[in-house]
Structure 1
């Protein structure tokens, strides 16, 4: 049985950031990565604009798994599914290996949530959450002339705009009454919608997708208002669910994600969770900046200098070239008691305030996104 100082389950952005951070501090600790896919390093946000840039999956690879493992002195167990974690003997079990650890990190990521619907194409929708998913569906994406995007959150909006920029006919369906309800006030959302409609994107809000059926080479999509749409492909961007199955099986504390403390430690000794699967301070922070901050702190903890994760307000850039948006802070919920708007020809600055009239969040658009950094410092 092989023993490693650090064993990481998963090979996404969080895992790669952690390895780089550990190696900046310690060149000698033995590190193993166990992953179900090949383990290549790539920049996940680039998935949002592969169509307009006409990029293949291989174009997105920053380093192959072999190159990364060699550069950072990592033992890679690729295309290996973890079946069980023995928390008492500190052993990770795959179908062919038993790997022992001093410290274990779960970086298992998250999977696309697919809302329930009926029809004989129920299992034939496309998700677009990883390099592996894109690689498997490249031919279908290339052949499709019309695409329905289910989900009008940040990812759905980005993807719909990029598909339209690539020349495809795009329909976006969002069950809520407006787009990006978790991030944008109504006034800004209306401007975004106008920019998308100017790209000939057909937008349906307040409706669900009830049924998807095959008809020849097309798919028939029945909406909750009874209307039927004809498209070549349907892609689902309805949010992510943290992958907590292994953690649950190992009897770690789990809520929406794997519950961790301020050191990213789980409820079992010497087991940590990082990235989209982790729930810290009651939240799953599925953005790159929190992962970078968390990986830096966890690397220090794993190399004998326990370090708390401190997550400041961070800037989110929405990749919608026709209507650039940046945002940060608290933008929804009971804490937001009022909004102020400064609207000019060059864009909008919208600020959210709490009951004490304190700035708690902001949204900037178009040319005024350059005002984000002083606002971020104010937050």
Structure 2
């Protein structure tokens, strides 16, 4: 087999991988593509995982297209429940353990790492630390849904985006919810304090209890329940504990292949890594110091990489891309200022909502946070923001 006949290999089957395939097939319908994934290969919306409990949706109901249908629709060779053990850049090969335990080597013309990210786990003392749940994919969600049967009270570790979305969803689903976070407010990396307090109040009205400014010390079995001990001396009884402490890009496979990594897998504006013919996108990729695990950046990167893989000139640009936080108790849309920005927030109450604008020291708008009815201003304000990554 000549190099030109070797397939494009994509590792991963999340939104990044399938969006890339969809965009590439618009440009080239025939070139062979092989997709290797540890999951089932089924297509589903990952953002739905933190909003599906109140609607009593099963894992199966979240699948919009099976792996087999995706393979047929996009003309793919699909290896599911398979693990990539090694990347050999010199010979442009990957070593894969298939679902039946067989080991094979597959050559590639171009390799794409769409590995995703893992939920951050921190060491926690106690004889029940292994009982902490996390939901990072469809399989995790199925387990969590099963664990919820007959339970009443859930403690969530982390008051970030995923933690707040789960808190809202679980409370709407009739569960008692308590949230623990070391920060003194919810969504500390995204919201100014007054809007965070408004969110906390709205979720409190659904029964959510907050333990802010403290962290978990240990988790232990207490009969049929779990006892969560905090560093401030408080303790909480729970039926389940859900960890939502944020995401860590999966970089180990790339590191072992000699690919440059930082927080994520380092790529240039063509999404190419430090090794020729190996690319990366999605939650695992880092572009000019930016790791953006959100839908819109993934879409932008997928369109750019599809063109690159098809032999066209393309360079990644990130316009301003506000993030919608799925907390129906208080709808939120945020475009946070760049980390380390100097400036200040101005907060304005409006009928049915709140508007937060962040101006830098030159009085330029570089971020916003909109709550409730103020979310209607999204399009107008987004036009005023500078791009996250402008044209190079």
Same fold (TM > 0.5): yes
Q: Aligned match of 2:275 in 249, 268, 280?
A: 268
Match status 1:252 vs 2:296: no
2:284 match: 277
2:384 match: 378
Match status 1:339 vs 2:329: no
CA contact (8 A) 2:296 2:321 kept: yes
2:57 match: 55
Q: Aligned match of 1:308 in 298, 312, 315?
A: 315
Deviation at 1:333, TM superposition (A): 4.4
Separation in structure 1 between the aligned mates of residue 151 and residue 274 of structure 2, nearest angstrom: 46
Deviation at 1:141, TM superposition (A): 2.1
Separation in structure 2 between the aligned mates of residue 315 and residue 159 of structure 1, nearest angstrom: 20
Match status 1:291 vs 2:298: yes
Deviation at 1:280, TM superposition (A): 0.6
2:23 match: 21
Separation in structure 2 between the aligned mates of residue 143 and residue 65 of structure 1, nearest angstrom: 32
CA contact (8 A) 1:4 1:32 kept: no
1:70 match: 72
Change (3 A) 1:333 1:311: closer
Separation in structure 1 between the aligned mates of residue 245 and residue 344 of structure 2, nearest angstrom: 28
Range 130-139 or range 234-243, more displaced: 130-139
SS at match of 1:275: coil
Separation in structure 2 between the aligned mates of residue 228 and residue 119 of structure 1, nearest angstrom: 13
Separation in structure 2 between the aligned mates of residue 279 and residue 48 of structure 1, nearest angstrom: 24
Q: TM-score, normalised by structure 2?
A: 0.94
Q: Aligned match of 2:328 in 321, 336, 339?
A: 321
Per-residue Cα deviation, 1:12-45 (whole angstroms, up to 9, x for no partner) = 1100100000011110110000011111100011
Change (3 A) 1:102 1:66: same
SS at match of 1:143: coil
Separation in structure 2 between the aligned mates of residue 138 and residue 163 of structure 1, nearest angstrom: 11
SS at match of 2:108: strand
Please list every run of at least 4 consecutive aligned residues from structure 1 whose deviation after the TM superposition is greater than 4 angstroms: none
Deviation at 1:329, TM superposition (A): 4.2
2:122 match: 115
Separation in structure 2 between the aligned mates of residue 329 and residue 210 of structure 1, nearest angstrom: 31
Instruction: In structure 1, list runs of 5 or more residues that go unmatched.
Output: none
Instruction: In structure 2, list runs of 5 or more residues that go unmatched.
Output: 98-102, 386-392
2:35 match: 33
Deviation at 1:137, TM superposition (A): 3.0
CA RMSD after TM alignment: 1.3
Deviation at 1:122, TM superposition (A): 1.1
CA contact (8 A) 2:154 2:178 kept: yes
Separation in structure 1 between the aligned mates of residue 151 and residue 77 of structure 2, nearest angstrom: 40
1:175 match: 182
Separation in structure 2 between the aligned mates of residue 118 and residue 250 of structure 1, nearest angstrom: 34
Change (3 A) 1:275 1:231: same
Deviation at 1:154, TM superposition (A): 0.8
CA contact (8 A) 1:335 1:355 kept: no
1:355 match: 361
CA contact (8 A) 1:266 1:273 kept: yes
Per-residue Cα deviation, 1:41-72 (whole angstroms, up to 9, x for no partner) = 00011111111110000000010000110110
Separation in structure 1 between the aligned mates of residue 83 and residue 325 of structure 2, nearest angstrom: 34
Deviation at 1:201, TM superposition (A): 0.4
Per-residue Cα deviation, 1:122-149 (whole angstroms, up to 9, x for no partner) = 1111101111211233210233210000
